[in-house]
């Protein structure tokens, strides 16, 4: 096989493995969430199908496949049908750039444990998550139902508002790492003392903002206003049935996994062990296991929140997002920026290139003009 074919094969394998993993995790989560919620509420939860009810996701899947698909009267056909597709595509697009581990040497090749290693990985996720609003807007408007319309409007206004604090909460981490690449951001959290170097300590306000904004971004309790059952039936997906409903649910869960994996990478040290001595067991790097432990704990946290907290009121939600989260995030950026500038003290001799990752510079085409431009702009830019 030619190298190009090998690359394509590896990429295809990675896509298949990740997709299978996500689908398994999705069906497992629907079961675990119901059982855990039941446990927290002194109920039993689904326990009829199979031992402890673990076949419940299979039964649900079969049921959803064979249900009748209802098209509401007066619905806009194309928009109504396209909305679940948009939701799923955007959900999977954004999780494709999240890394699960550092580069691994396998069969004499270096393979990075992510589908696409983008230089601007974090920004890409922000862009795609801003596109995922459309799925909700389309679902809400296309169904020709006032409950879905209100649910869709609420949801998109909410995602719109919290996306801002979500993006701002990343900036401090990006400043510390000096890169948009998630691999570099995790790499910047490595150190001799393990846990102490992780960003959730050094960027604690940003971490709090991220947790709140991410919960709101994926429409989970206590921010599940879009599907507030008491007011809006089921929000934007009221009119969906059968597999299209399942697709919307799947998008929601995949988004949850994305924010969990992303938060793990940004704030919880990614695949790094809490103590450097625990990183290798028997000479094998078990970073992937650490990553999964952190990511699954984050997912458990979402379920725990749902079992614990009541729902926000809509105006409280909005004023909390704009008047509390955004100021905290901005303040955090200002302080972090000040500290970074004070500590690195960039003079003409120490240009930003020194803090940048070597990979970004290895590309000769992009590196050369950049250096020239930096020299040309030299004294004035530093002043």
Partner 1 sequence: VIDAVLFYAFAVLALGSALVVVGQRNPLYSAFALIVTLCSLSAIFGLLGSPFIAVLQVVVYAGAIMVLFLFVLMLLNVKQEEAAAPRGAALKGMALLLVAILVAQVGTVLSRGGREAAASFDASTRKVAQALFSVQYLYVFEATSILILAALVGAVALAKPSDAGRGQAKPGVASASSADEVAATPARGADRVAAIPLPPVGRGQGWGAR
Q: What is the DSSP letter of 104?
A: E
x/- site string to partner 1, residues 171 to 210, per CB under 8 A?
---------x------------------------------
> Which of 18, 25, 150, 257 is in the footprint of partner 1 by CB under 8 A?
150
| CA–CA dist 96, 247 (Å, integer) | 18
> Which of 154, 220, 237, 294 is in the footprint of partner 1 by CB under 8 A?
154
| CA–CA dist 383, 381 (Å, integer) | 6
Please provide residue 44's backbone torsions phi and psi, each rounded to the nearest 5 degrees.
-100, -35
Tell whether residue 285 is a contact of partner 1 (CB under 8 A). Answer: no
Tell whether residue 374 is a contact of partner 1 (CB under 8 A). Answer: yes
Question: Strand 284-285 vs strand 109-111: parallel, antiparallel, or unpaired?
Answer: unpaired
Query: Which tokens is 158 given?
Result: 């909410």
| CA–CA dist 208, 220 (Å, integer) | 16
> Which of 6, 297, 319, 344 is in the footprint of partner 1 by CB under 8 A?
319
Q: Assign residue 273 a region (left: φ > 0; alpha: ψ between -120 and 50; beta: otherwise).
A: beta
Tell whether residue 126 is a contact of partner 1 (CB under 8 A). Answer: yes
Q: What is the DSSP letter of 194?
A: G
> Which of 124, 200, 253, 320 is in the footprint of partner 1 by CB under 8 A?
124
Tell whether residue 123 is a contact of partner 1 (CB under 8 A). Answer: yes
Binding to partner 1 in span 217-276, by CB under 8 A: none
Binding to partner 1 in span 82-121, by CB under 8 A: 118-120
In terms of Cα–Cα distance, which of 258, 234, 259 is closest to 248?
Answer: 234
Give the footprint of partner 1 on this chain (CB under 8 A).
79, 118-120, 123-124, 126-128, 130-131, 133-134, 137, 141, 146, 149-150, 153-154, 156-158, 160-161, 180, 314-315, 318-319, 322, 356, 360, 365-366, 369-370, 373-374, 377, 380-381
């Amino acid at each position: 096989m030619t190298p190009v074919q090998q690359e394509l094969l590896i990429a295809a394998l990675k896509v298949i493995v990740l997709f299978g993993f996500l689908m398994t995790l999705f069906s497992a989560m629907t079961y675990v969430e119901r059982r855990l919620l039941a446990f927290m509420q002194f109920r039993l939860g689904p326990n009829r199908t199979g031992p402890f009810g673990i076949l419940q996701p299979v039964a649900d899947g079969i049921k959803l496949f064979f249900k009748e698909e209802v098209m509401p009267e007066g619905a806009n056909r194309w928009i109504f049908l396209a909305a679940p597709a948009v939701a799923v595509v955007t959900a999977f697009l954004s999780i494709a750039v999240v890394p699960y581990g550092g580069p691994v040497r396998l069969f004499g090749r270096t393979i990075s444990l992510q589908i696409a290693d983008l230089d601007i990985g974090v920004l890409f996720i922000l862009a795609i998550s801003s596109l995922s609003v459309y799925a909700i807007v389309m679902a809400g408007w296309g169904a020709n139902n006032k409950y879905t319309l209100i649910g869709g409007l609420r949801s998109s206004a909410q995602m719109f508002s919290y996306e801002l604090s979500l993006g701002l909460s990343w900036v401090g981490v990006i400043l510390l790492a000096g890169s948009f690449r998630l691999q570099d951001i995790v790499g910047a959290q490595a150190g001799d003392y393990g846990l102490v170097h992780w960003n959730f300590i050094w960027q604690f306000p940003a971490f709090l903002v991220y947790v709140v904004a991410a919960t709101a971004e994926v429409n989970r309790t206590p921010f599940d206003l879009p599907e507030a059952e008491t007011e809006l039936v089921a929000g934007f997906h009221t009119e969906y049935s059968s597999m299209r409903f399942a697709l919307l649910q799947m998008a929601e869960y995949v988004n949850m996994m994305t924010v969990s994996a992303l938060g793990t990478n940004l704030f919880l040290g990614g695949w790094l062990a809490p103590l450097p001595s625990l990183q290798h067991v028997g000479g094998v790097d078990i970073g992937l296991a650490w990553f999964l432990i952190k990511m699954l704990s984050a997912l458990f946290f979402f379920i725990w929140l749902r079992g614990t907290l009541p729902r926000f009121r809509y105006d409280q939600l909005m004023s909390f997002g704009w008047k509390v989260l955004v100021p905290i995030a901005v303040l955090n950026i200002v302080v972090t920026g000040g500290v970074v500038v004070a500590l690195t003290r960039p003079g003409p001799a120490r240009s930003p290139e020194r803090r940048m990752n070597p990979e970004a510079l290895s590309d000769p085409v992009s590196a050369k003009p950049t250096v020239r431009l930096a020299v040309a702009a030299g004294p004035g830019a530093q002043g």
